[in-house]
Amino acid sequence: MTSTENPDTRTVTRAEYCAIACAEIFAGAGEIMASPMATLPLIGARLARLTSEPDLLITDGEALIFADTPAVGKKGAIEGWMPFRKVFDVVAGGRRHVVMGANQIDRYGNQNLSAFGPLQQPTRQMFGVRGAPGNTINHATSYWVGKHSARVFVDKVDVVSGVGYDRFDEGDPAFRFLHLHRVVTNLGVFDFGGENHAFRALSLHPGVTADDVASNTSFEVEGLDSVGVTREPTAEELRIIREVLDPKSLRDREVSL
């Protein structure tokens, strides 16, 4: 606690709304591993850990479990070991909530980070499916999109890496852990709580209109007519974001305006 004055809550930036929205992804998560795969979700997970979710496990992104909650890019004291092979044990055990990126997401939550175009001869190669199939079928999964556009939010993804709700097999209990929790973007907060698990708006960040979202999404977004505004960060949250976790404001680089 180095600061005695409250930070200026009148100057909240878009990236700071995104940070608290990413923190809220983990509300109620309890003693599980938070696995954010980009800067904003990482700030969010650590913000949650420093406020309402102290029991979250976080790692250095490589193999060490942090005892501390260090700033972005910093090391901290550790409390345990989590090499890649043990991550797969955690995935299978379900005590994890991942926030992945996405090159494409459709209305029912199918996600692509693999490639564009035909499977055996793509037009553009990305990572391949990575851990997306295992993540989505095993434990809570959320997505972070720094530039919400109709090229990301498409009618049909080219490769289903992350499993969506329309692929859910009701007759097979092996699917019972599929849970897509939130999608946070530079424009707002969304989930798949619409009809038949369709993409639904939960809040839009201050300054964002329903029209902005509709014109940057290929499909119809449920709830846009009545959607509210993303809440204000508390003075404590702003202090933690600005002074403790991200003093260099790396968050601004990842959020399109």
Partner 1 sequence: MRDKRMSLDEVVGELRSGMTIGLGGWGSRRKPMAFVRAILRSDIKDLTVVTYGGPDLGLLCSAGKVRKAYYGFVSLDSAPFYDPWFAKARTGGEIEVREMDEGMVKCGLEAAAARLPFLPIRAGLGSDVRTFWGDELKTVTSPYTDASGKAETLIAMPALNLDASFVHLNIGDAHGNAGYQGVDPYFDDLYCMAAEKRYVSVEKVVETEQLVKEVPLQQLILNRMMVDGVVEAPGGAHFTLAGESYGRDEKFQRHYAEAAKTPESWQAFVDRFLSGSEDDYQAAVKKFAEEQQA
Binding site for partner 1 (CB under 8 A): 62-64, 81, 83-85, 88, 91-92, 114-115, 117, 119-134, 136-138, 159-164, 167-169, 171-175, 177-178
For residue 69, the minimal CB distance to partner 1 (Å) is: 20
Q: How far is the CB of 161 from partner 1 (least distance, A)?
A: 6
200: left (phi over 0), alpha (psi -120 to 50) or beta: beta
Answer positive or negative: Cα dihedral of 80, 84, 90, 94. Answer: positive
Asked if residues 246 and 71 have their Cβ atoms less than 8 Å apart, the reply is yes
Considering beta carbons, is residue 172 or 195 the nearer one to partner 1?
172
Residues 153 and 145: their CA atoms lie apart, in Å, by 10
- 92 or 250: whose CB is closer to partner 1? 92
For β-strands 200-204 and 228-229, DSSP reports them as parallel
DSSP state of 231: P
Q: Minimum Å distance from CB 90 to partner 1?
A: 10
Nearer to partner 1, 61 or 207 (CB): 61
Judged by beta carbon, residue 139 or residue 239, the one nearer partner 1 is: 139
Which residue bears the tokens 């119809």?
A: 220
Q: How far is the CB of 120 from partner 1 (least distance, A)?
A: 6
Residue with Cβ nearer partner 1 (178 or 241): 178
For residues 15 and 213, give the distance between their C-alpha atoms in angstroms, rounded to a whole number: 17
The smaller minimum CB distance to partner 1, of residues 75 and 231, is found at: 75
Distance, C-alpha 52 to centroid of its chain: 17
Dihedral, CA atoms, 62, 67, 68, 69, nearest 10 degrees?
60
- Location of structure tokens 């424009």: 187
Instruction: With CA atoms as reference, report the closest residue to 161 among 109, 210, 196.
Output: 109
**Least distance in angstroms from the C-beta of 119 to partner 1:** 6
Nearer to partner 1, 129 or 224 (CB): 129
Distance in Å, CB of 193 to partner 1, minimum: 20
Q: Are strands 64-66 and 58-59 parallel, antiparallel or unpaired?
A: antiparallel
* Shortest spacing between CB 139 and partner 1, in angstroms: 10
**Phi, psi (5° rounding) for residue 178?**
-60, 120
Query: Which tokens in the block code for residue 16?
Result: 């700071």
